[in-house]
Structure 1
Amino acid sequence: MHGATDTPSAWVARWAPAIPHGEVLDLACGGGRHARLLAALGHPVLAVDRDATALAQAAGPGITALQHDLEADGAAWPFAPRRFAGVVVTNYLHRPLFAPLAAALAPDGILVYETFAQGNERFGKPSNPAFLLAPGELLEMALGHGLRVLAYEDGVVDAPRPARVQRLCAAAPDVDPGSVRIDG
């Protein structure tokens, strides 16, 4: 059974239609709210999380669930040389993964990323600086890995609960920005 936390992020819902047809990686997928949205849009989805209980909720039609801990000592990026039409990451930050995430995009691929930023400690957890982006950090990471930034926001959101976040939608370097279409 899915609850209020099953509602997809407004940011992901806005940019999901820009992802071209093809397989999408939902990294640190939790209970699968974005995996279900992407599958409903016709994408085959690889939903990855280290939490087996949450991952069991993510499984469904069009969704392949994979339990994997990307932060384990010596963990290598398990998806190379595989490329994805889209990569979606929300409420998760492990900085060493950014380079492999950028490299995992297909030539026309789209990255949709949203996570907590410094200043979130005033709203609750996470409050550990290791899990909070510095001002402009998500934007700098994208540009530093050659991605084309289509949209970026850094600020406070009210839903699903008050938080300070950074949000990014970026395309693989070969994408013509004029070819990216969003509905809504």
Structure 2
Amino acid sequence: MSQPSAWLHRHIGLLPAGLVLDLACGAGRNSLFLLEKGCQVLALDKDAQGFVALEAAGARTMRHDLEADIEHGNWPFAENAFAAILVCNYLHRPLFPDMLGSLEPGGLLIYETFAAGNAQFGKPSNPAFLLRQGELLEQIRSNPQVAMQVIAYEEGYVEQPKPAMIQRICARKTGKTNVLDRL
């Protein structure tokens, strides 16, 4: 099994207690890391290839194609369902508003994927699967009912785990406004 995301590893200490959704989990490298750290994990992917190992390690799993018929409500989760959502190396722009809504107040989004310019290093190279400059910052504002506080954001070239252009963000869903938010 390959190493978990360095971005996840860097921000693991910020995760609130509760259920973590590993969206498009693939073989489950990040889910297994989360489980080792004592998190409750729901691992979702359209391919169930890694589910046996994940279930044996204690994860709940869900096979679901997030890109099928999204216009008709294909997002399978309720609002405020997750303490955290992790997305690594996956991009489907229409999911952002619903995904953000599914974070609990105070919930954490840890997201990283490929960005424009990645074609020079290999796949993905199709612009449909690459974030435009600054786009991840725009996407966390895609649900007008959800306010997100950016904790960390990076955009640029990385050498590990392989040379790539990436964007990554760690952001917390803010709760209801209160007097402490006054400027």
TM-score, shorter chain, exceeding 0.5: yes
Q: Give ranges in structure 1 of 5+ residues lacking alignment.
A: 177-184
The Cα of 1:118 is off from its aligned counterpart by 0.3
Using structure 1 for the length normalisation, give the TM-score.
0.88
What is residue 162 of structure 1 aligned with on the other side? Answer: 163
1:175 & 1:111 partners in 2: Cα distance? Answer: 18
Q: Is residue 2:40 matched to residue 1:44?
A: yes
TM-score (norm 2): 0.88
Runs (5+) with no aligned partner, structure 2: 178-183
Answering whether residue 17 of structure 2 is matched by residue 28 of structure 1, we say no
Q: How many residues align structurally?
A: 172
Deviation, 1:75, is 5.4
Change in CA separation of 1:27 and 1:110 when aligned onto 2, cut-off 3 Å: same
SS in structure 2 opposite 1:13?
helix
In 2, Cα distance between the equivalents of 1:10 and 1:127?
22
Instruction: State how far apart, in whole Å, the 1-side matches of 2:54 and 2:23 are.
Output: 12
**29-38 vs 66-75, which deviates more?**
66-75
Structure 1 pair 175/17, CA: closer, same or farther in 2 (3 Å)? farther
* Alignment partner of 1:84 is 2:82: yes
Tell me the residue number matched to 2:9: 13
User: Using the alignment, how far apart are the partners of 2:33 and 2:100 within structure 1?
Assistant: 22
Percent sequence identity over matched residues?
Answer: 50
Would the aligned equivalents of 1:121 and 1:127 in 2 still touch at CA under 8 Å?
Answer: yes
For the aligned residue pairs, the C-alpha RMSD in angstroms reads 1.7
CA–CA distance in structure 2, aligned partners of residues 13 and 51 of structure 1: 24
Distance in 2 between the 1:16 and 1:126 partners? 27
CA contact (8 A) 1:117 1:165 kept: yes
State the Cα distance separating 1:142 from its structure 2 match.
1.2
SS at match of 2:171: strand
